[in-house]
Structure 1
Amino acid sequence: MSSIFTKIVNGEIPCYKIAEDENFLAFLDVNPNAKGHTLCIPKQEINKIFDIEDELYLGLMLFSKKIAVALEKSVPCKRIGMAVIGLEVPHAHVHLIPLNEMDEMRFQNKISLSKEEFEELVKKIQSNM
């Protein structure tokens, strides 16, 4: 059975897409820890991040770095935090979270954004890439 992320890659479920290339996709988390919380995933469904072959893994890190740089230019924050948890969705993914305080990395305090706020944020991040 396909993961929710595979369904997003296949266009079966919509997302707030920031960027994609042949191997990777970046989109805003719809249940964010902070404004700009972004997920970077390999398009290939691989359950665990350390099961990714080396070349694809390095590609995911470089893709994530590119997104993080644009994100930091787009959302006021002290830095971009990165986390790989891997328990909630069986598809390897990297969380990029704009941080102003440690609680924003705890995955307990979520924020809400309107559809318009998500769409505006996507455009802003894309303009900084």
Structure 2
Amino acid sequence: MSSIFTKIIKNEIPSYKIAEEDKHLAFLDAMPLVKGHTLVIPKQETDFIFDLENEEFKNLWSFAQTVAKKLQKTYPDKRIAVAVIGLEVPHAHIHLIPISKMEDMNFKNVRLKLSDEEYQEIQNAILHS
């Protein structure tokens, strides 16, 4: 069940990585709702997040917590919201979204179109927080 996320994991498609472990990866969303919108994924190809084995499920959320804390340092005036939708890409993933208000997390909102320089600036800010 290869997806675009599998290609990102294999470095076949470029991404703006925020954090990586042996079994997990976090990178900036290519179609973000707000600056800093990050996706956290298991490297194991699994469509539905609740199909992950119990230990892997816990480890994914622990990794997401670590990433969320980095985002919180980068965006101290925002809350880091969490969403698991599971419809966009057939690969389990967690959205971490810096928000100021509930509307920031509306997936019907127009997505930001950021330049490569803007993505790099956001990535650097998070990596150095």
> Taking structure 1 as the reference length, what is the TM-score of the superposition?
0.95
Partner of 1:117: 118
User: Residue 29 in 1 paired to residue 13 in 2?
Assistant: no
Deviation for aligned residue 1:4: 0.5
**Distance in 2 separating the partners of 1:106 and 1:50:** 23
5+ residue gaps, structure 2, are none
Question: Does the CA contact (< 8 Å) of 1:35 and 1:75 recur in 2?
Answer: no
Per-residue CA deviations over 1:58-108 (Å, capped at 9, x if unaligned) read 111010011111111112543000000001100000000000111111112
1:112 is displaced (CA, Å) by 2.2
- Determine the structure 1 residue equivalent to 2:10: 10
CA RMSD of the aligned region, Å? 1.1
Q: Which residue of 2 aligns with 1:85?
A: 85
Q: 2: CA distance between counterparts of 1:50 and 1:5?
A: 18
Q: Displaced runs of 4+ in structure 1, greater than 6 A? A: none
Mapped to 1, the partners of 2:86 and 2:21 lie a distance apart of: 22
Q: Match for residue 101 of structure 1?
A: 101
Q: Give the share of equivalent positions with the same residue, in percent.
A: 55
Q: What is the count of residue pairs matched by the alignment?
A: 128
Distance, in Å, in 1 between the alignment partners of 2:56 and 2:81 is: 21
TM-score (norm 2): 0.95
